[in-house]
Amino acid sequence: MKSYLSLIAFSFFLASGCAQENTPAIETPTVVNYTYETLVGDINIPWGMAFIGENELLVTEISGTLYHVLNGVKTSIEGLPEIYTRGQGGLLDVALHPDFKNNNIIYMTLAATLEGDEGGNTALYQAKLVAHQLEDVKLLYKATPNTKKGQHFGSRIAFDSDGHVYFSVGDRGNRDENPQDITRDGGKIYRLNLDGSIPEDNPFVSNSEAKQAVFSYGHRNPQGMAVHPKTGAIWVNEHGPQGGDEINVISKGKNYGWPLITYGINYSGTPITDKTTDPNMEQPLYYWVPSIGPSGMAFSTSDVYADWKDNLFVGSLKFEYLERLVIEGGDKIVKREKVLDKIGRVRNVKEGPDGFLYVAVEGKGILKVVPKG
3-state secondary structure of 332: strand
Give the span between the Cα atoms of 325 and 162, in whole angstroms.
28
Buried b (16+ CB within 10 A) or exposed e, 162-184: eebbbbbbbbbbbbeebbbbbeb
Which residues are 76's β-sheet partners? Answer: 67
CA–CA separation, 25 and 149 (whole Å): 35
Pair 186, 173: CB distance under 8 Å: no
Q: What is the DSSP string of 93-153?
A: EEEE-TTHHHH-EEEEEEEE--SSSSSBEEEEEEEEEETTEEEEEEEEEE-SS-B---S--
> In whole angstroms, what is the distance from residue 140 CA to residue 200 CA?
16
Grouping H, G, I as helix, E, B as strand and the rest as coil, residue 314 is: strand
Q: Cα separation of 254 and 233, whole Å?
A: 14
Residue type, 77: I
Answer whether 192's CB lies under 8 Å from 203's CB: no
* HSE-CB of 290 using CA atoms within 13 angstroms: 15
Which one is catalytic: 68, 97, 132, 152? 152
Residues 6+ positions from 198 with CB-CB distance below 8 Å: 192, 205, 212, 213
CA distances 160 to 99, 224, 246, Å, are 13, 15, 21
Alpha carbons 144 and 21: distance in angstroms, whole number: 34
Q: Is 152 part of the annotated catalytic residue set?
A: yes
Of 126, 129, 146, residue with least CA distance to 137 = 126
Instruction: Reduce the DSSP state of residue 175 to 3 states and report it.
Output: coil
- The catalytic residues are 152
